[in-house]
Amino acid sequence: MVSKQEIECQDSVTEDLTRYVRYKRRLRKGSKVQLLNNGREGFPAMLQAIQEAESFIHIGSYIWRGDDVGWRFAETLCKKSRQGVIVRAVYDAVGCFDVDPLIFETMEVEGVQVVEYRPLKPWRPRWGLLRRNHRKILVVDNKVAFVGGLNLSMQHESKENGGENWRDAHVRFEGPAVNDLNRLFLNVWEKGKHTRRRLPRRPVVAAVQPANQSVSILSSNRFQRDIRTSYLHAIRQAHKSIWISNAYFVPDLRIRKALYQAAKRGADIRIILPSVSDIKMVAWAVRHLYGRLIKNGVRLFEWQGSMLHCKTAVIDDVWSTVGSSNLDHLSLRSNLEVNILVLDRTFGREVKDNFEKDLENCREFTLRDWQERSWWQRLRSWFFYGLRWIL
């Protein structure tokens, strides 16, 4: 029999953890979460879930290449569609602007219901290059779901399989939050289909036993900024450590000030950034901030080698997030994004362990490095930082 003192202790621990969470009512208890590193772990897990589908598959990707990875997923989805499984897919028009449409046409012929998000058609009202669907979502039978930074592209595949081996993170999870992610997907899919008939939202999934992790689905668009608000709240609660790994890191003033205040409280703040970026203008822009960040107690590390595409963070070993959202203007204020928030010490330590392993492949950028920049590097960073609102 559990004593009164044990119950009070458990309650105090739970309350201590939830102080890191801005939207407490959205926390879903009884979840099971698995961290997946790179395409080496992420792609096989996703394909296995698709192959085991019995009712429906909902999948969305910002980039869906017509390469080996893209076709591997497309062919598996087509096979499940032929077996009678309902398959709905969403891809972004800008993310896939240079992709051969054959891959999507093939899926449609096989019965996959495909939606192109915000097509690039200037003659249509309210079209535009911005406000993209940057989410990476997979929901299977409302029982298992995936979210993270992996696009369906050989860029994320391992070198052994002919890919570029980008460093990234994805999450597989089960439990009540799966339904929250499914609703996000359906909201976008229905708008893309221009239908007024709303598809039935599945009942909330029962908690997975004996899982005990608490998670929350965070989303962002131009009207809703839950990811940014959640980051700010957790950073302001931090007293021990804030470790962030982010591909496109151009934080606004409020986030920077929150980091500076946390450093003054004694928090160990470390940020891993790519040394070589696929979007060079963003890398040049963030370097304009390096000096301010370092002077205010933020340690910066640049990933060496392949592109770092992660969007992860762990605060005080308790609050963790993995998803599609970068810490820049487009992700936090414009694009459709989705992250999973995990409030769990075990998962937090796992994210932190991965961070420490990544540090072994990083070089710390010091204040001296920043001061020794050439005049051309200074001018370039200043110029592109001024364009941060559209990068």
Active-site residue flag, 311: yes
80, 136, 170, 329: which one is catalytic?
136
Cα–Cα distance for residue pair 88/293, rounded to 1 Å:
43
92, 180, 316, 344: which one is catalytic?
316
Assess if residue 210 is contained within a domain: yes
Cα–Cα distance for residue pair 221/219, rounded to 1 Å:
7
Tell me what pLDDT residue 200 has.
63
Active-site residue flag, 316: yes
* Tokens describing residue 362: 């990083």
CATH number, domain of 72, equals 3.30.870.10
Cα–Cα distance for residue pair 167/39, rounded to 1 Å:
9
Active-site residue flag, 67: no
Contact residues for 375 (Cβ-Cβ < 8 A; gap 6+): none
Assess if residue 2 is contained within a domain: no
Running DSSP on this structure, what letter comes out for residue 225? B
What band does 8 get if pLDDT is binned at 50, 70 and 90?
Answer: very low
Which residues of the chain form beta strands (DSSP E)? 28-37, 56-61, 86-92, 113-117, 137-140, 144-148, 169-174, 213-220, 241-246, 268-274, 298-303, 311-315, 319-323, 337-343, 362-365
**Mean pLDDT value across residues 23-32:** 92
The number of CA neighbours under 13 Å toward the Cβ of 28 is 23
- Please tell me the pTM assigned to this model: 0.91
Cα–Cα distance for residue pair 100/90, rounded to 1 Å:
16
Assess if residue 229 is contained within a domain: yes
67, 92, 141, 226: which one is catalytic?
141
Strand partners, 60: 90, 137
309, 317, 328, 352: which one is catalytic?
309
Contact residues for 264 (Cβ-Cβ < 8 A; gap 6+): 297
Assess if residue 5 is contained within a domain: no
What pLDDT, in 10s, does the model give residues 266-320? Answer: 999 999 999 988 888 888 888 889 999 999 999 999 999 889 999 999 999 999 9
Domains of the chain: total: 1
**What's the sign of the alpha-carbon dihedral 5, 11, 17, 19?**
negative
Active-site residue flag, 136: yes
Mean pLDDT of the chain: 90
Active-site residue flag, 226: no
Q: Are 180 and 340 in contact (CB under 8 A)?
A: no
Cα–Cα distance for residue pair 236/265, rounded to 1 Å:
10
Assess if residue 15 is contained within a domain: no
What band does 321 get if pLDDT is binned at 50, 70 and 90?
Answer: very high
311, 317, 344, 352: which one is catalytic?
311
Assess if residue 11 is contained within a domain: no
Assess if residue 157 is contained within a domain: yes
What pLDDT, in 10s, does the model give residues 372-388? Answer: 888 888 898 889 888 87
58, 80, 92, 134: which one is catalytic?
134
Active-site residue flag, 369: no
What pLDDT, in 10s, does the model give residues 39-72? Answer: 999 999 999 999 999 999 999 999 999 999 999 9
Cα–Cα distance for residue pair 95/216, rounded to 1 Å:
26
**Lowest mean per-residue pLDDT among 113-122, 193-202, 237-246, 250-259:** 193-202
Contact residues for 47 (Cβ-Cβ < 8 A; gap 6+): 72, 73, 76
Map tokens 């979840």 to a residue: 31
* Tokens describing residue 71: 């076709």
User: What letters, b where the CB count within 10 A reaches 16 and e where it falls short, cover 333-370?
Assistant: bbbbbbbbbbbbeebbebbbebbeebbeebeebeeebb
Assess if residue 98 is contained within a domain: yes
Q: Which structural domain range is residue 151 located in?
A: 22-385
**Mean pLDDT value across residues 5-34:** 73
Tell me what pLDDT residue 11 has.
39
